[in-house]
Structures are given as C-alpha cells and as structure tokens.
Structure 1
Amino acid sequence: MTQDQQVTDPTGTWRELLGRQYAPIAAVLAGGVLLEASNVYLTTSLLPTIVGEIGGAEFYAWTMTVFLLASVVSSMLVSRILTQQGAVRAYLLALGLFALGSLLCAGSPWMSALLAGRAVQGLGGGLLAGLGYALIQRALPERLWARAAALVSAMWGVGNIVGPVVGGVFGQLDAWRAAFVVLAVVAVVICVLVVRSMPRTSRGRPTEPVPWASLLLLTGGVAAVSVASVVPTGLATAVALLVGVGLGARFIRHERRSGRGILPKVTFARASSLRWVYLTVAVLAFGIGTEAFIPLFGQEIGALSPFVAGLLGAALSLGWSVTQMFAANVTGDRARRRLIVAGPLVVAAGLTAYGLLQQDGPSGTVIAAWFLTLFAAGAGIGLGFPHLTVAALGSTDGEEEGAKAAAAVNTVFIIASAFSAALAGVVVNVAAPDLVRSAQLLMLVFAGISVLGVIAAGRAASGVGRRAAAN
C-alpha cells in the first residue's frame, strides 16, 4: 500500500460495489458480520423458550457472556490467522466454527451443553466480524473502502433488528432448535460464496509471536466487566467494573511499551491519529449500550406492546444503519472530518432529548418523538463510522499491520459494547425502582460520555486524508 492510498477515490459507487464483480465479495463480508450480530439478539429472544425446555435459568445471562468472551478472544487473532491461512481458509475456519457451535446449540440437552455451543459460536463469530473489516483492504479497491465499511458496519444495526424478529418467530413456533440449524445452513451457504468469489490472498508466517500477555489482559478485563453485568448489584458490581477498567488500562500500557501486541505498532506513534480513531469508535459504540433498556422503558413507561417496544429499541440501530449508507458517499476530506466530529454530538443530542422526554402516561406525540430522537442518536453513530474505518484501513503499511488495524476496529467495538452494557445496568439500578428517573439518568450519563468523545473525534478527524505516520 502506498502512502497516497489513504485518500479515497471519489469515482467509487454503490453500483460498482454491488455489481457483478464485487457483489459476491461484499455479500461475504457483510453476511459474516450479520451472522455474528443477529445471532446475539436471536438467542436472547429464544432464551425463555430454551430455558422452559432444558432448564438452567440460573445461567440465563451467561449465554451472552460466554459468547462475548469467545468473540473477543478470536477477534484479537484475526490478523494472525489471516496471515497464516489466507482469506479463503480463514473464512472457512470461521464459518465452520460458527456452524459447529450452532449445531451444538441445536442439539443441547441441558444448559451446560448450550453454553459450550455458544462458546464455539463466539469463536467463529469473532473471526467473522474481524475478517469483515480486515478483508475490505485486501479484497476491494480503495475507492470502495468507505462504502464497504458502511455496508459491513450497518450489519450490526441490521442484526439488532433482524435477530429479535427471527428469534421471536421461532420462539413463537416453539422451534428454537430449528433456529440454530438455520444459522448453520446460512453459514454453509456463505462458505460456498467464499470458495467461489473470495480472492486467494497470500499466506505466510506471522512476523511476531502470539501476544499472550495482551490476550490475557484484555480477555480478563472483558470477563470482569461481563461478570459485573450478571452479579447482584452492589459491591460485587463495583469491584468487577474496577477490575475490568484496571486490566484494560494495564493492557493499553503493555501495548504501548511492548510494540508487539494486538494493536498495530503505529497506534501509539506520536504523529499517528489511529489511537484517536479507536477511541472515537469506542465512544460511538458506547451509545449502543442503552439499547437493551429501551424496550423495557417503552413497555413500562409508555405502556407499549412488546412488539412496538421492540421497534422502539430498534430505532437507534435503524438510524445508524440508514445514515451510514448516505454518509459513505461523502468523499471530500473536509466534509469527512466534519462528519466524524459531528457524530458524538448528534448521539449526545439524541440521547439527551429522549431522556428529557421521559414521563409517565406519555401522549402519542411524545412516543413518536421517542422514535425520532433515538433514530437521531443512531444517525450520529452512522455519520462518521465508515470514515473512521477507512482511516484505520489506511493508517499503516504492510498487509499484516493493515489487517491488525482493520480488525481492531471490530475488537474495540465489541469491547466498548461490553463495557457500556455493564455500565448501563449499573446506572439504571441507581435510580430503581423509578423507571422514569432511571431512563433519564441513563440517557444523560451516556450523552455526557458522547460529548467528551468530541475531543477524541477531533483528533481522529485530523488524520483523515493525510499520510499515515511512519511505522
């Protein structure tokens, strides 16, 4: 990759990306991320039915925790596996693990077997999501990077919508095992697309050893935060969060000093804006942590039906997914910088407005305003996300370092989502049992975090269209 490649060629179009030459590649990249994203919420929708048949209610929350931890571990190994195995083999490995995990879940006679299946699913899913970002750089021309990044990132939002709907249908039919079989079949279909359309990238030996210290520190941090979301609220939650934050800080310190870790070497270079790109991605992902509680607020505060409350919860994801498709068309460096900086501010404005609109017995107009404000908050995420991804893709030279930079976008996203979900649970419980106050407090706290993210966004935007720092 040359030093001038970071400037996006304005001639790339959606028609070219979705045309005959690149559509199969785009389908693989987006389809893998959609499998990972939709599976999270699909399983959540199925859990009441699953527990009713095989028991294990005491492990209810662990189905998400086990999947998340496995996804984080495998996402940190994407660049290494891609270098060793090449694009086709790496994808087949990821899809194979995901399909195997799905079948294990489908055949689970008890909850411990389901958790084992979820762990295998998570290993495959983390690889799929990371490969979806890492292979944008290797499989597509640079003029299509922004649109491909928007398409891949939008799958997280689409998955948040599709997952609960599909899971609800299978749950209603009492056919939860069939849902996991369908996931395995979809994985096999994508395998066929991979073999037929994915470019055969070169294979080689990684230039660095396995970063065990980084893996252990980051996995431990995410594990601690995940535990914080499932233990009883109080001292145990606070301790788990503090341990998670401490291990996260230790991870960053180790990465900065060692120079051989999960993040690209250029991340901590003084002239590089890459660390600010990752921090901005984390801030935007943090806003998504509010989603889990929005259906609850809709049902309990607004007296909405479960279906309508679910649609309210999907408004943020919808705003994110739709906005990305339009934001990706922006090609001027100055305009892209403005979108990146505006993103956290729009998220903050949307969350603040939604929080201030919380009231008992809301009118139809207020409920409509809830949808609009959440859509606006999601739009803030979508404004700069594709351009942040492109900035990461073009931040470093060399295929292995480039894969690290791209895959780390997904890793940062997953980790920030875990931290935000745990923090959201703590904030909501502070004002419990008054749900109106809980909703207001949650939204205002997360809006404040988004406002602070403007600083990081400004630093990240400064590197758009400029030469990446030398390694």
Structure 2
Amino acid sequence: MTSTPGPVRGAGRRRVPGLMRPDPDGPWSAERWRTTTGVVALVSLVAFEAMAVATAMPVAVRALDGLDAYAWGFTGFLVTGLFATAVTGQVCDRRGPLLPFLVGVATFSVGLVLAGLAPSMAPFVLGRLVQGLGGGAIIVSLYVLIGHSYPDRLRPRIFSYLSAAWVVPAVVGPLIAGTVAENLSWRVVFVGLLPLVVAPVLLLLPAMPRGSPPSRPGGGAPASGAAALVAASAAIAAGAALAQLGGQQLERGRLLVGLGGAALGLAVVGAAARRLLPSGTLRLRRGLPSVVALRGLQAGAFFGLEAFLPLMLVEHRGLSPTAAGAVLTGAALGWSAGSWWQGRPRLPVGRQRLATVGAVIVLVGLAITSAAVVTEVPVLVGVAGWAVTGSGMGITFSTLSVLLFRLAPTGEEGASSAALQLSDTLGCVLTVGVAGIVYAFLRDQGGVAFAVMFAAMLLVQVGSIVAATRVTPSAQLRGNGRCEQPDNIQDPAIAG
C-alpha cells in the first residue's frame, strides 16, 4: 500500500529575512521598541522644527524688520548649542543622561514660546538662544542613550532610522510651514510645536539610565577640571558670537573695531576648542580627532549654504516661501537614502573609506546647487544638486556616528558624543556667521552676495575631504596591512 505524501510544512512559502522571523534582540524587540519609537519620534520633531524654521525664517525676519540680522536667527540657536553640548557631555558621563534630557526638553519648549511671541528681532533672537540650550542638551542625551541601549551591530540601523525620521518632516514640513507663514502667521510655526513634545518624552523616560554611570579606573575629571570645561565651553560660545559681531562692524564702516572683534573672537574660539575637542582635532590627527573635525567641516559647509538657500530663492530667484522651503525636501530625502544605503548589511567598501565617498558626493552636490545663483540656470538644477548633497550627508554623518562609538575610549562615550556635536555646531556657527557678514556687506549687489557665500562653502567642503582621508587610526594603518574594520561581512542578525 502506497501512502500519499502530505503537504510539507512551509513548502511554497518563501521566507523573507527579518519579516518571517523578527530579530528577538533587534531595535524593535520587546525590550527596545519603546526606546526606538521614542528616539525616532523626537528626532522627527526636531527635523520638523528645523525644516519649518528654515522655511519660515525669511517671513519672520522680514516681519520683525531684522533682515540685516538674518543670520542671528540661526547662529543664536547654534551659539548656545555650543555651550549646552559641551556641558551636557560632561554631565552625562558623571550623572547619566536623564537630568540633562529633561532640562533640555523644558528649555527647548520655553525657547519656542519666546521666539513665537517675540515683538521684535531682539526677543526673537533671545528665544532662539534659549532653544539652542535645550536642543544641544537633547541631542547629546539621545546619543548617550543610543550608546547605552544598542550594541555596535545595531547602531548603523539606528542611525539610518534617525535619518529616515527626516523623510516625512522633509516632505510636509516646508509645505505646512510655508502655508502657515503665508496665510496665518509665522508665529504658529514655533508655538504650534509644543503639544508634539509630550509623547516622545513619555516613551523615552523609562529607557533613560538612572544614576551615575559605572566608574572606570582613572576615569572622570576632577571638579576643577569640569569647571574648566564649563568655562571653556562658555568661552567658545562667546568667542563665536564676538567674531560674528565684529564682522558685522565691517559692514558699518568700523574697520578697526570689526577686524579687532573678529580676530579676538576667533582666537578665543581656537583656544577653547583645543580644550573641548579631542587632542589633535584642529591638526586633523588620524582617528577620532579627524572624525570629529570632519563632522564640523562638513556640517559647516552644508548648513552654511542651507541657511541662506531659501533666502536666495525668495529674494534673488523670486520663489514664494513655500516653494523655496520645498527645495529643502530634496536634501532631506537624499540624506535618508544615503543613510539607508550605508546601513545595509553588506557594503562595497569599509566604513572609513565610506566617509570619503560621502564627502566627495557632498562637494559635487554643493557645486551643482550653487549654480542656481545664476539666473539663467533653471531652479530645478539647484533642486537636483541639493538632493545629491543630502545623499552624501546621509552617508557621511551616519558613518561618522558609527565610527565615533568604535573609536571613543571606554567610559567616555558621553564626552566623545558631545565633542562630535560640538564640532558640528561650531562648524555651523562659523560658516553661517561668515555667510551672514557677507550677506550684510554685499546685500545690495543681489546675486553676488550669494555667489561669494556659496563659493566659501565649497572651499570648506574641500577641507572636509582632506579630513575624511584621515579617519583611519594610525595603529590600523600599521597593523597587518589592514586599515579598516570591515563592513562588507553580512550581519547574521540583519540577514535573519
């Protein structure tokens, strides 16, 4: 008697990796899904705020009669962010990220109210200063939380999620902010964000480590050292502000005062940066110092151009605020695509070389975008160039975040995260400040001002490429002919 074979279990079903069998220890596991959701939600809120403010800024500054001080709408936020990031890193390493996270969220919310209700340009800048304090504390706290909650193998995916969190705000943020600013009030763009802060905070609070981190042998600076770091971070913020104020005096014909103030401010920034950044950062020493330097240079080139791109499109090319803000969407989508690509389980090159690839792509994108200053060049060329720029940023920034945790000394992840964010913010402060000086000085000459600003950003990005070639530590260059930790080996957890 012959038996008829029954159906084989699972026959005809194609197993999809990561879908049929979710990773029990992945970012969306029972242990981590609340943390992942909260981090992504809060970054989405930050992304929406950034896209909305960049879109509404030309309308807000014009309404407050502060076009000459346009750059302060951005540098006000960034200057205090310098102070907050440096201090928060030290606090996180000593007491954990919970307290600075809560203080940061509260301060950021107060800043939104102050900016949204400002009757003139000075109170508006004050609100942006307060926002910067909160924003710097939030970002560093999130980086420390990621380092605490996710192992190294999951961090590329987490950082790709963070870049992906910019997608929806990038698509709807400029449209919503432009429409609100044109038809209701630019003030709604600020105060309307307050209710959205609550849910991410409630999700993240249970995941925040309580108490002080475990002590390490010889670790932790003495109280006098911590006080010196606070003083140095205050000095670097004050120096950056002084440099911009001095530069603005040049536009008013006060040559000696302007040059003296700018030189003094830059000198203070340089001296304080040596205290706050890893040793060798300003010299592009191989390894972690060059990782930190690359973050600052590339952030400066990108955001220095982005701050004035909507203004150029409105004032020089005649676009509406909504249309000009929508141009920012291309970079955000490109950023997410680049970050997703670098987070794949298999990569054609190692992590360190990937930083150079991203930096070169950014340079090409910035050059294409800058061509839109020429009125004969279609605006769509600039849109395409900005999307290319964003893809390079997504590759480089996510890669640098992974390299940071690989190269940071054990127990100093908070200080290293703060250094990375500090370099980012310092680069933005200096380049946006320089661009603001150029704009105030050459504003009456139309497109010439934007051409000079954008050319300066291209030069900064050339420096980024140099730094990218030096992110490999010297010890790896000397060891066994291998210069990188490979990333082209498939992660079994990702493969499923």
Moved more, 297-306 or 219-228: 297-306
Moved more, 383-392 or 316-325: 316-325
Residue 284 (structure 1) aligned with residue 298 (structure 2): yes
Give 1:299 shift. Answer: 4.1
Question: Which one of the candidate residues 178, 182, 197 is aligned to 1:187?
Answer: 197
Quickly say closer, same or farther: Cα 1:268–1:348, change in 2 above 3 A: closer
Moved more, 381-390 or 49-58: 49-58
Match of 2:268 in 1: 247
Whether the 8 Å contact between 1:88 and 1:194 is mirrored in structure 2 is no
Fraction of identical pairs, as percent: 24
Q: Deviations over 1:304-329 (max 9, x none)?
A: 44433322244334322331122222
Match of 1:388 in 2: 400
Residue 307 (structure 1) aligned with residue 322 (structure 2): yes
Q: Deviations over 1:25-79 (max 9, x none)?
A: 2333344444445435544655677679988888766454433222221111122
Residue 218 (structure 1) aligned with residue 236 (structure 2): yes
1:446-461 to structure 2, matched below 5 A, reads 446-461=457-472
Given the two structures, how large is their TM-score scaled by the length of structure 2? 0.75
Distance (Å, rounded) in 2 between the aligned partners of 1:242 and 1:339: 36
Q: Deviations over 1:222-277 (max 9, x none)?
A: 22244357656364665544333322221244x2xxxxxx3457969998511111
Distance (Å, rounded) in 2 between the aligned partners of 1:83 and 1:162: 37
Whether the 8 Å contact between 1:94 and 1:124 is mirrored in structure 2 is yes
Given the two structures, how large is their TM-score scaled by the length of structure 1? 0.79
Aligned length in residues: 445
Q: Which amino acid aligns with 1:458?
A: T
Match of 1:128 in 2: 138
Give 1:466 shift. Answer: 5.4
Question: Which one of the candidate residues 81, 84, 95 is aligned to 2:105?
Answer: 95
Moved more, 88-97 or 54-63: 54-63
Whether the 8 Å contact between 1:150 and 1:385 is mirrored in structure 2 is no
| Structure 2 stretches lacking a partner, 5+ long | 1-21, 477-482, 487-496
| Structure 1 stretches lacking a partner, 5+ long | 1-11, 256-261
1:15-164 to structure 2, matched below 5 A, reads 16-18=26-28, 21-40=31-50, 42-43=52-53, 62-105=72-115, 114-152=124-162, 164=174
Q: Which amino acid aligns with 1:242?
A: A
Quickly say closer, same or farther: Cα 1:337–1:272, change in 2 above 3 A: closer
Which has the larger helix fraction? 1
Whether the 8 Å contact between 1:264 and 1:404 is mirrored in structure 2 is no
Give 1:154 shift. Answer: 6.0
Give 1:389 shift. Answer: 1.3
Whether the 8 Å contact between 1:70 and 1:119 is mirrored in structure 2 is yes
Whether the 8 Å contact between 2:281 and 2:292 is mirrored in structure 1 is no
Match of 1:227 in 2: 245
Q: Considering only aligned residues, what root-mean-square deviation do their CA atoms show, in Å? A: 4.0
Match of 2:12 in 1: none
Residue 344 (structure 1) aligned with residue 359 (structure 2): yes
Q: Which amino acid aligns with 2:432?
A: A
Give 1:333 shift. Answer: 9.0
Give 1:350 shift. Answer: 2.0
Whether the 8 Å contact between 2:174 and 2:329 is mirrored in structure 1 is no
Give 1:163 shift. Answer: 5.2
Whether the 8 Å contact between 2:55 and 2:310 is mirrored in structure 1 is no
Question: Which one of the candidate residues 445, 449, 462 is aligned to 2:456?
Answer: 445
Distance (Å, rounded) in 2 between the aligned partners of 1:110 and 1:269: 42
